[in-house]
Amino acid sequence: MHADVENVRVQAAHQNGPPAPMAFVSFVPVAAAAESLPALSRAPASSGRAPLGRSGTDQQFSLPTAAAIAALAAGSAAVSRPNGTRLRIQRAAVGRRGGLLGGLAVAAAAARPKPANAAEKLTKQTAEKVQADIEQIIKADPNKGPTLVRLAWHSCGSYDKVSKTGGSGPGTIRFKEELAHGGNAGLDKAVAWLEPVKQSNPSISYADLYTLAGVASIKALGGPDVPWRAGRVDSVSPSDVTPDGRLPNASNGSAKKDVDHLRDVFYRMGFNDQEIVALSGAHALGRCHADASGFVGPWTPTPTTFNNLYFKLLKNSQWEEGCIKGETCKNPQYRNVDTQQFMMLPTDIALLKDPSFSKYVDLYADDQKVFFKDFSKAFSTLLELGTKDLYTVV
Ligand code: HEM
C-alpha cells in the first residue's frame, strides 16, 4: 500500500512567469482521478528538478510515502521536495464523511497502474492551432516574425554539448533570470506575445511553443519547412537557467576575435563552420534595435521575407564602419557604402574574413535553394539541442 501511494498527481500552480515558491498538489475525486488523468512523466525521487508533464500543467512526483500518507490523512500539508523546496498538498473533493477512508481511496485510484510512458502527447490539431495563432500574430505585424525567430534561437543557444546543459529543452527563457542575460535584450516582448497563445493552447509546453514559433515564423515569412518535433518538458525552476555569456557577442574587438568567438560559441553547441554560416543567414530577417542590442538597422531591404539576400549583400556590397543613414548606433557596426541603408554586425563581416566561412557565404549567395535546405537542417538541429524523448506530432 505504501508503495502504491507514492505516485500522486500534481498540479503545478506556477506556470506563468517565474514559479511561485510553492507548487500545489491536488488529490482529485476518485472516479475522475482514475479515468480522466493523462498519465504523466514521473520524476525520480532523487531528481533535483521537478519536470512538468506534457501539458505544462500536470506532473507526477514521487513523494516520500510517509509524507504522502500523512498528507492524505491531514487533508492538507506541506511536504519537502527532493530539491529542498516544499510542496503544499491539498486533499480536494474528498467528501466530508470520507475522511481517511476517502483519502485512501484516492490513493488507490492514484496508484492504478499507468503505462510507463503515457504522457499526454501534443496532438497535430493543437500543433496546427498553435501555428495558426502564431501566423495571426505575424499577419497583424510582420515585424514580430523575425523577433520570434530570434526568441526560438536564443531559447536553444545556451546549449553546451559537454555538460549537456541549456538548450531549448527546459523552456527557461521565460524566466526573468534568463531574459536578463545581455544577449536576450528585447526578447521579453516576444515572450509576452506568445503568452496568449499558451493560454489558449495550454497543452503545449513553453519550450515547444518557443521553438514552434520559430518554425512557424520562418514559414510565414517565406522560408523553408523546418522539421520540428514536440515533447520538450518545461523546467519549473529558474535554477535551471544557465549562466549568462553563452550566446554570441556581435562585436569582439577584431575580425580574428569575431571568427574565433563564433567558433567557440557554435562549436560548443555542436555545430560546424557550414552550419554557422547557414544559421547566420537568418539575418535576412529583422533588424537591430537601439533599445535592445544597441546596434541599429536591417540587414536587407526585405526584413520580413526569408531569402538569401543577406548573403548576396554581404558578398557583393562594400562595407564600411558606421551607422546606417540617419541613425545613431551605440556599438561598432558596418553599413553598405553605396546607400548606407543596410547594416552588418562585426560577426557578420567576420564570415568574409575566414576562408572556411566565406566559401559558404559564396555558396548561399549564389544558390538560395541550397541555403534553404542547409538552413532548414541546421535550424531543426538547433531547436532540438538540450532535449530528449521528442516525438513527431501525428
Ligand atoms: C552568429 C552569431 C549571431 C550574433 C552575434 C547575432 C546577433 C544579433 C543581434 C545583435 C541582433 C539584434 C537584436 C536587436 O537589437 O533586436 C540580432 C537579431 C536577430 N538575429 Fe541574430 N545573431 C547571431 C546569430 C543568429 C542566428 C543563429 C539566428 C537564427 C537562426 C539569428 C536570428 C536573428 C534574427 C531573426 C534577428 C532579428 C530580430 C528582430 O528583428 O527583432 N541570429 N542578432
For ligand 1, atom 6: residue with the closest CA: 250
Q: Could you give the C-alpha distances from 85 to 235, 236, 239, in angstroms and in order?
A: 14, 12, 12
For ligand 1, atom 12: residue with the closest CA: 288
Residue 100 — pLDDT band, cuts 50, 70, 90? very low
- The three cell numbers of residue 164 are 549537456
Confidence (pLDDT) at 120: 77
pLDDT tens digits for 348-377?
Answer: 999 999 999 999 999 999 999 999 999 999
Element (H, E) at 312: helix 309-316
From the alpha carbon of 290, which atom of ligand 1 is closest? Answer: 15
For ligand 1, atom 19: residue with the closest CA: 150
The 3-state DSSP class for residue 10 equals strand
Span 1-10, mean pLDDT?
32
Select from 243, 252, 142 the least CA-distant residue to 184.
Answer: 243
For ligand 1, atom 5: residue with the closest CA: 250
pLDDT tens digits for 230-284?
Answer: 999 999 999 999 999 999 999 999 999 999 999 999 999 999 999 999 999 999 9
Choose the residue to mutate in 268, 271, 288 for probing ligand 1, maximizing ligand atoms within 8 Å of C-beta: 288
Work out the percent of the chain whose per-residue pLDDT is above 90. Answer: 69
Residue 369 exposed, middle or buried by CB count within 10 Å (0-12, 13-18, 19+): exposed
pLDDT tens digits for 156-174?
Answer: 999 999 999 999 999 999 9
Choose the residue to mutate in 144, 147, 148, 150 for probing ligand 1, maximizing ligand atoms within 8 Å of C-beta: 150
CA 19–ligand 1 middle distance (angstroms): 28
For ligand 1, atom 25: residue with the closest CA: 280
* Domains, the chain: 3-110 (no CATH), 124-246 (1.10.520.10), 255-373 (1.10.420.10)
- The three cell numbers of residue 168 are 531549448
From the alpha carbon of 248, which atom of ligand 1 is closest? Answer: 5
Residue 26 exposed, middle or buried by CB count within 10 Å (0-12, 13-18, 19+): middle
Residues serving a catalytic function are 154, 299
From the alpha carbon of 265, which atom of ligand 1 is closest? Answer: 2
Query: Rounded to whole angstroms, how far apart are CA atoms 202 and 18?
Result: 17
The 3-state DSSP class for residue 309 equals helix
- Which of 65 and 215 is assigned the larger pLDDT? 215
- The three cell numbers of residue 220 are 510565414
Query: Rounded to whole angstroms, how far apart are CA atoms 379 and 266?
Result: 12
- pLDDT of 292 higher than 80: yes
* Residue in the block written with cell 562549436: 267
For ligand 1, atom 35: residue with the closest CA: 146
Helix (H) and strand (E) counts in the chain: 14, 11
Confidence (pLDDT) at 170: 96
pLDDT tens digits for 323-353?
Answer: 999 999 999 999 999 999 999 999 999 999 9
CA 170–ligand 1 middle distance (angstroms): 21
Could you write out the DSSP letters of every residue in 262-305?
HHHHHHHHT--HHHHHHHHGGGGS-EE-TTTTS--EESSS-TTS
Span 36-57, mean pLDDT?
31
Contacts (Cβ under 8 Å, ≥6 apart) of 144: 137, 138, 190, 193
CA 283–ligand 1 middle distance (angstroms): 6
HEC string of 111-162 equals CCCCCCCCCCCCCHHHHHHHHHHHHHHHHHCCCHHHHHHHHHHHHHCCCECC
Query: Rounded to whole angstroms, how far apart are CA atoms 106 and 120?
Result: 21
- The three cell numbers of residue 100 are 481517511
Confidence (pLDDT) at 226: 98
From the alpha carbon of 249, which atom of ligand 1 is closest? Answer: 5
CA 265–ligand 1 middle distance (angstroms): 14
CA 339–ligand 1 middle distance (angstroms): 22
Confidence (pLDDT) at 119: 55
CA 310–ligand 1 middle distance (angstroms): 12
From the alpha carbon of 276, which atom of ligand 1 is closest? Answer: 1
Which value, to the nearest 10 degrees, does the dihedral of the CA atoms of residues 143, 146, 150, 155 take? 90
Contacts (Cβ under 8 Å, ≥6 apart) of 349: 255, 258, 314, 319, 334
Span 188-216, mean pLDDT?
97
- pLDDT of 317 higher than 90: yes
Span 91-95, mean pLDDT?
37
Residue 102 — pLDDT band, cuts 50, 70, 90? very low
Query: Rounded to whole angstroms, how far apart are CA atoms 91 and 74?
Result: 8
Q: Which residues pair with 89 in a beta bridge?
A: 25, 77
